[in-house]
C-alpha cells in the first residue's frame, strides 16, 4: 500500500488518504492484538458493508496475522451459523445496527461481537508481527456441489499473485478511479477492485449498495476511469437509461465512453448485452473467467481483440489447460474439455475438508468443473460439469443447498432446483416441487417463507408444482428433464 497523501478511499462525504488508511489499519491491528505478539491465524469474521471500516478491518486482520472471513451482510441466520461455526470464528466485527440481531447467535457460538470503533479504542502500543507470505490470510465461502458452502482458504501469497496478474494484464495505474458496489464477501469485489486499486495507488469510491442514479451521476461527471460489474448490473443500467431524456442518457453514455476500461464478470455476458453496451457507450466489454478458488484465470486482452461470448486467454502467471475424462491434456482446438489451473493464484485448501480439497485436484491441477472449448486461441465456456451450480447475478449458487432449505417446509415432499436462462440474472433459480398429500403452496407464499431462511438472491424466481419429480432407474432426479416444465 502506498503511504502518501493520495486519496485511497471515498466513503460518502469523506475522503481518506493512503497515509490515513495505513495508520488506521495498523491501529486496528494493534487493537486486535492487545497483549499478543501475533494472532497466529485466528479467524475473525467481518459483517460490514463497503466502507472505510470494512477496509480498515480487512487490512488490520491481515496486518495482525489473523485470517479474515468477509461475510455476506444479507446472509440469513442459518447461513451465518454455518459460516461462523464451521471455521471456529472467535470475533465478529459488525456495525452497531447489526449487532442486536446477531447477539443471540454470537452468544450461542461463543463469538465476541464487536464494532470497528471498539477495536480502535482499545489499541495497544504493540509491535506488529512479520507475516510470512505462505500463511493463511482469508476464507471466502463458495457454493459447490455439496449441500453446505465450503470455506476457500487463500494465503497471502495467493492474494498477492492474483492482484499482480490483474495489475499487469489490465494495466492498473495510480491515476485510476473506480466505484465499488460489488459484494465484499466475493473475490470480484475484494481482489479485482479493492485490492488491485489499493496495490496500484488508485482511488476507490465505496458504495454500500448499488444506487444506479447516484452512480450514473458520477459517471456523467467523469469521476471514474474504470468500471467493473456483473452482467446483471449492465442490464439494470441499460434499463435505467430507458427512463431518461435523450440528453440525460447521452451524458451518462459519454461518461462511460471516456473510461479506459469496462469489465464484465462473475457470470457469462450474453452476446446481445455485449453488443448493446458497445452501441450505447462505445465500450467493448472485457469479459474474463475466474473462481473463488483460483482468482482470475482467463481474460480477453486489454490491448487487442475482445470477443463477445469468449473469456479470452490465460492471464500472466496462470497455467490453464483443457483436460479430457482420462485426465489427458486436449491439444487440439474445437475439442471440449474441463478447465484446469495451476499457479500461485490457486487456493490452499477447503477449510476443515481435506477430502474435498483432495478431490478438487488431479496431478497438481485444480479441476474447475467448467467445460470449455478453444477457438482460434480464445476460450469459450460451454457449461458446467455439474448441473447443481447456478450462476445468478454474479453469484455461484448451490442447488443442493437451496433444496436442503426448501425441504424443511412442511408442505414440500420433494424438490429439485435448477437454473433457467435469464436475460437479467444470467440464470434464475427455479424450483420444481412435489407437495405432501393435501398440501397447497403458491409462489408468493414460498417466497415469504424463504425470507429469513436464505439470502434473497437464492429464493426461487420460478416455481412449478408437479405430481412427482422425474427420476432415472437409479432413483436419481433427472434435472435436464425438468426444463420442459418451465
pLDDT tens digit string along 293-303?
Answer: 999 999 999 99
Percent of the chain surpassing pLDDT 90: 79
Query: On the CB side of 158, how many CA atoms lie within 13 Å of its CA?
Result: 24
The answer to whether 180 touches 388, Cβ cutoff 8 Å, is no
C-alpha of 340 from chain center: 20
Report residue 184: phi and psi, to 5°. -100, 25
Cell of 438: 393435501
**Bridge-based pairing state of the strands 349-350 and 337-342:** unpaired
Which residues lie below 8 Å from residue 185, measured CB to CB, with a gap of 6+?
Answer: 70, 71, 72, 73, 140, 141
What pLDDT, on a 0 to 100 scale, did the predictor assign at position 147?
52
Among 421, 417, 426, 420, residue whose Cα is nearest residue 399: 417
Cell of 8: 485511497
Among 39, 45, 127, 38, residue whose Cα is nearest residue 81: 45
114, pLDDT greater than 90: yes
Q: How far apart, in whole angstroms, are the C-alpha atoms of residue 57 and residue 64?
A: 10
Sheet holding 14-17, edge to edge: 14-17, 7-11, 203-206, 177-180
**Bridge-based pairing state of the strands 337-342 and 365-375:** antiparallel
Banded model confidence at residue 324, pLDDT cuts 50, 70, 90? very high
Provide the Cα torsion 7, 192, 216, 461; round to 10°. -140
Sign of the alpha-carbon torsion through 107, 111, 117, 119: positive
Banded model confidence at residue 145, pLDDT cuts 50, 70, 90? very low
Specify the CATH number of the domain 389-485: 3.30.300.30
Among 73, 113, 108, 107, residue whose Cα is nearest residue 91: 113
Please state the pTM of the whole predicted model: 0.85
The SS3 of residue 197 is helix
The SS3 of residue 26 is helix
The SS3 of residue 341 is strand
The answer to whether 9 touches 16, Cβ cutoff 8 Å, is yes
* Residue ranges per structural domain of the chain: 389-485
Banded model confidence at residue 389, pLDDT cuts 50, 70, 90? confident
Render the burial of 238-262: b for 16+ CB within 10 Å, e for the rest: eebbeeeeeeebebbbebbeebebb
The answer to whether 39 touches 127, Cβ cutoff 8 Å, is no
Banded model confidence at residue 268, pLDDT cuts 50, 70, 90? confident
pLDDT per residue over 209-262, tens digit each? 999 999 999 999 999 999 999 988 998 999 999 999 999 999 999 999 999 999
The answer to whether 363 touches 391, Cβ cutoff 8 Å, is no
> DSSP of 111-161, one letter per residue?
-EEE-HHHHHHT---PPPPP--TTSEEEEEEE--SSSS-EEEEEEHHHHHH
146, pLDDT greater than 50: no
Among 432, 441, 438, 440, residue whose Cα is nearest residue 468: 432
1, pLDDT greater than 80: no
In the chain, the N- to C-terminal Cα span, in Å, equals 51
| Average pLDDT estimate for 33-38 | 93
Which residues lie below 8 Å from residue 18, measured CB to CB, with a gap of 6+?
Answer: 1, 2, 3, 4, 5, 6, 8, 198, 201
**Bridge-based pairing state of the strands 365-375 and 378-384:** antiparallel
Cell 494484464 locates to 169
Amino acid at each position: 500500500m502506498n503511504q502518501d497523501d493520495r486519496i485511497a478511499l471515498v466513503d460518502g462525504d469523506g475522503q481518506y488518504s493512503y497515509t490515513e488508511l495505513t495508520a488506521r489499519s495498523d491501529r486496528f491491528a494493534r487493537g486486535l492484538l492487545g497483549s499478543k505478539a501475533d494472532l497466529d491465524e485466528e479467524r475473525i469474521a467481518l459483517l460490514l458493508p463497503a466502507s472505510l471500516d470494512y477496509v480498515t478491518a480487512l487490512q488490520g486482520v491481515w496486518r495482525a496475522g489473523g485470517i479474515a472471513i468477509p461475510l455476506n451482510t444479507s446472509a440469513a441466520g442459518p447461513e451465518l451459523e454455518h459460516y461462523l461455526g464451521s471455521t471456529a470464528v472467535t470475533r465478529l466485527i459488525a456495525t452497531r445496527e447489526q449487532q442486536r440481531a446477531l447477539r443471540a447467535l454470537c452468544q450461542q457460538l461463543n463469538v465476541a461481537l464487536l464494532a470497528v470503533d471498539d477495536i480502535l479504542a482499545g489499541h495497544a502500543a504493540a509491535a506488529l508481527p512479520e507475516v510470512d507470505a505462505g500463511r493463511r490470510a482469508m476464507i471466502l465461502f463458495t457454493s459447490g456441489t455439496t449441500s453446505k458452502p465450503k470455506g476457500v482458504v487463500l494465503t497471502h501469497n495467493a492474494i498477492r499473485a492474483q492482484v499482480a496478474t490483474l495489475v499487469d494484464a489490465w494495466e492498473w495505474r495510480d491515476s485510476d478511479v473506480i466505484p465499488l458496489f460489488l459484494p465484499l464477501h466475493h473475490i470480484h469485489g475484494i481482489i479485482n477492485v479493492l485490492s488491485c486499486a489499493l496495490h496500484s495507488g488508485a482511488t476507490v469510491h465505496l458504495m454500500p449498495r448499488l444506487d444506479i442514479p447516484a452512480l450514473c451521476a458520477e459517471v456523467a461527471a467523469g469521476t471514474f476511469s474504470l468500471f467493473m460489474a456483473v452482467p446483471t448490473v449492465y442490464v439494470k443500467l441499460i434499463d435505467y437509461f430507458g427512463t431518461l431524456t435523450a440528453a440525460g442518457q447521452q451524458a451518462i453514455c459519454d461518461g462511460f465512453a471516456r473510461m479506459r476500461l469496462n469489465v464484465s464478470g462473475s457470470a457469462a455476458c450474453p452476446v446481445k448485452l455485449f453488443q448493446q453496451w458497445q452501441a450505447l457507450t462505445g465500450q467493448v466489454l472485457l469479459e474474463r473467467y475466474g473462481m473463488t478458488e483460483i482468482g482470475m484465470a482467463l481474460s480477453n486482452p486489454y490491448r487487442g481483440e475482445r470477443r463477445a461470448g469468449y473469456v479470452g486467454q490465460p492471464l500472466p502467471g496462470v497455467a490453464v489447460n483443457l483436460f479430457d475424462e482420462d485426465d489427458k491434456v486436449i491439444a487440439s482446438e474445437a475439442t471440449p474439455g474441463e478447465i484446469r489451473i495451476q499457479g500461485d493464484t490457486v487456493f490452499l485448501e477447503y477449510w476443515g475438508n481435506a477430502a474435498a480439497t483432495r478431490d478438487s485436484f488431479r496431478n497438481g491441477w485444480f479441476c474447475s468443473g467448467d467445460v470449455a472449448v478453444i477457438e482460434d486461441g480464445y476460450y469459450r465456456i460451454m457449461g458446467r460439469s455439474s448441473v447443481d451450480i447456478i450462476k445468478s447475478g454474479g453469484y455461484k449458487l448451490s442447488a443442493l443447498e437451496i433444496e436442503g432449505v426448501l425441504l424443511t417446509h412442511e408442505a414440500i415432499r420433494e424438490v429439485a432446483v435448477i437454473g433457467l436462462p435469464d436475460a437479467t440474472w444470467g440464470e434464475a433459480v427455479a424450483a420444481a416441487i412435489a407437495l405432501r398429500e393435501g398440501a397447497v403452496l403458491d409462489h408468493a407464499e414460498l417466497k415469504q417463507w424463504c425470507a429469513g431462511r436464505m439470502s434473497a438472491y437464492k429464493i426461487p424466481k420460478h416455481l412449478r408444482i408437479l405430481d412427482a419429480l422425474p427420476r432415472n432407474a437409479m432413483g436419481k432426479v433427472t434435472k435436464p428433464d425438468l426444463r420442459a416444465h418451465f
